[in-house]
A and B are shown apart, each in its own frame.
Chain A
């Protein structure tokens, strides 16, 4: 497994705005997952996109994957204060363990 690199490291927006965070990785993957972590809490799985998929939606979340550029993006639409959290991407390859980067710290102001 490899580590994804999230960008930006921190993002501050107003409630109702969209939030976009990006993830880059180095080698080929089977899938890529996004997780959310509220401060001091466990990580929560948000969405998994497989290497043969280009886009996936789940509620207000939209994830894209560009395997040619080895990058993914997570879009949260109409953000809410409750979306304030750290967001991690985790490229998945052979084996079950996931390696997490430093994440994107999202702050949504009411």
Chain B
């Protein structure tokens, strides 16, 4: 079965550079969630989208922005990168109705390293 696809899987950037992560949800899933997991930390919710509109916002820095496109894929844009942005970034998807009480399907994550 198709899973959540994230790209790139690994990314190395310098401080103050910009990075873009992409997420392709499971077909027919209309909701996307972004999480950030620092080394040894729990996954922190960043932001979510439902039907291409932002549905919830967590601890996402102002330097980060995200959107969901007409084909339901999502992109997380990170600017002015800092060393502390080094983390695993997970995308998860769900079907809108089930999002109220259903499971999230996670991708394998994109590992961002900021040097």
Binding site for B on A (CB under 8 A): 30-31, 33, 35, 40-45, 48, 50, 88, 92, 94-103
Contact = CB atoms under 8 A, between A and B. Distances in A.
Contact of B90 (A43, A88, A97): A43
- The bracket for how many chain B residues form the interface is 20 to 34
B106 A43 contact: yes
A88 B92 CA distance: 15
A42 B33 contact: no
A99 B92 CA distance: 13
B68 interface: no
Interface in B46-99: 48, 50, 55-56, 58, 88, 90, 92, 94, 96, 99
Contacts, number: 65
Contacts of A88: 42-43
Given A96-B33, A99-B45, A101-B42, A30 B101 contact: yes
Interface of B: 4, 31, 33, 35, 41-43, 45, 48, 50, 55-56, 58, 88, 90, 92, 94, 96, 99-109, 111
Contacts of B33: 96-98
Contacts of A31: 101
A94 B107 contact: no
B88 A45 contact: no
22 contacts: A33-B103, A35-B106, A40-B88, A40-B109, A40-B111, A41-B109, A42-B106, A42-B108, A43-B90, A43-B92, A45-B105, A48-B101, A95-B55, A95-B56, A96-B55, A96-B56, A96-B94, A97-B48, A98-B45, A99-B45, A100-B43, A101-B42
